[in-house]
Structure 1
Amino acid sequence: MGAKPVYERLTADARGDVVVFLIGMRINRFRSVRSWLPAFRAMPRMLRELSRDPESGLLHHVLLTANPRVFYVVQYWSSKEKLLEYASRTDREHRPAWAAFNRAVRVGRGAVGIWHETYEVPAGRYENLYYGMPPWGLGAAHGVVPVARRGERAADRLAAGDTA
């Protein structure tokens, strides 16, 4: 990421509910490349497809790794409806990737695992602060504003969210 750090106390300019989707994979057997490589390669294709379509609902994503076996993506969506719509569309990358993964799992017998978690966070139930960071996470998804506009303390920003 080539973005420069911003040395100002900032908070995300998110309004209303926030949808966060975590999805990842765990390589259980490194030698079973045919079982895990298709899942590993499918995610970047889906993210490129979503990023090219401003109407998809994907606002921002971050690719992460927990260790040499676990890879995951934190995604921020405009709504749960947009997330579910993408997952169910037969004309997009997700459905073929899901079918291929299911075939690979049957053949690979546990060589790879996947997981996902979806969170719909109500307004007033999230808070954040960024300092010395380029745009990140929820702030990258929704833009940022100076902390003073939402409150200097985390408790203030959470309270302000109840009325935003």
Structure 2
Amino acid sequence: MGSTVLEGRNTAAAEGDVTVFTVGMRINNFRALRSWWPVFTAMPRMLKELSQDKESGLLGYQMLLGLPRVIYVVQYWESPEKLLAYASDQDGQHRPAWAAFNRRLRAGRGKVGFWHETYVVPAGGHESVYLNMPEFGLGKATGVVPVGRRGERAAERLSR
């Protein structure tokens, strides 16, 4: 995340629909390094691959730490179709990582947990405000504009 604080009130410059994909893991047994370490290291490789391919549809992402044991990524995509295309791409990093994870999951007997959630948010169904923050979240993925350009209140920004 950039460290330059953007003073004042800003909102994400996102126009139109946005697909939000959250994916993460929970380390259920820290000593079972073989179960969770490959999962942990696969995500940065996939994010690098996606970030280098401007046609992938990935707008941006944030890696976050949750409660102890939880690591997750919030990804912002142009469309669900592009997200699903990456997930099923036989030549990309995702398919082999997913196959290897499934083998480890069966062998690991609950030593690592995994989840993902996908939200397709229509235009007018998302709004944001960032107060004296570096670019973050959807604003980091799409850039930010002063709040006044989209409406001073959340209700105004949602009705666009």
> What TM-score comes out, normalization by structure 1 length?
0.94
- Report if the CA contact (8 A) 2:18-2:78 is conserved: yes
- Structure 1 consecutive aligned stretches of length 4 or more whose deviation exceeds 3 Å: none
| Structure 1 match to 2:38 | 38
Once the two structures are TM-superposed, the CA of residue 157 in structure 1 deviates from its matched residue by 1.1
Task: Give the distance between the partners of 2:55 and 2:41, measured in 1 at CA.
Answer: 24
The amino acid across from 1:154 in the alignment is A
- Report if the CA contact (8 A) 2:9-2:131 is conserved: yes
Any idea what SS the aligned residue of 1:56 has? coil
List per-residue Cα deviations over 1:40-98 (Å, max 9, x = no partner): 11001101111111111111110001123110000000111110000000100000000
| Structure 1 match to 2:155 | 155
| Structure 2 match to 1:145 | 145
Is 1:62 equivalent to 2:27 in the alignment? no
| Structure 2 match to 1:121 | 121
Task: Give the distance between the partners of 1:124 and 1:2, measured in 2 at CA.
Answer: 27
Is 1:47 equivalent to 2:47 in the alignment? yes
- Report if the CA contact (8 A) 2:2-2:135 is conserved: no
Number of residue pairs matched? 160
Once the two structures are TM-superposed, the CA of residue 136 in structure 1 deviates from its matched residue by 1.0
Task: Give the distance between the partners of 2:30 and 2:75, measured in 1 at CA.
Answer: 26
% identical aligned pairs: 65
Task: Give the distance between the partners of 2:30 and 2:64, measured in 1 at CA.
Answer: 19
Is the strand fraction higher in 1 or 2? 2
Give unpaired runs (5+ residues) of structure 1.
Answer: none
Task: Give the distance between the partners of 2:38 and 2:28, measured in 1 at CA.
Answer: 14
Once the two structures are TM-superposed, the CA of residue 102 in structure 1 deviates from its matched residue by 0.5
Any idea what SS the aligned residue of 2:22 has? strand
Task: Give the distance between the partners of 1:38 and 1:98, measured in 2 at CA.
Answer: 11
- Check 1:145–1:3 CA distance in 2 against 1; reply closer, same or farther (3 A cut): same
| Structure 2 match to 1:3 | 3
Give unpaired runs (5+ residues) of structure 2.
Answer: none
> What TM-score comes out, normalization by structure 2 length?
0.97
Structure 2 counterparts to residues 74-85 of structure 1, below 5 A = 74-85=74-85
- Check 1:119–1:4 CA distance in 2 against 1; reply closer, same or farther (3 A cut): same
Once the two structures are TM-superposed, the CA of residue 131 in structure 1 deviates from its matched residue by 1.6
RMSD: 1.0
Task: Give the distance between the partners of 1:65 and 1:20, measured in 2 at CA.
Answer: 18
The amino acid across from 2:14 in the alignment is A
The amino acid across from 2:46 in the alignment is M
The amino acid across from 2:29 in the alignment is R
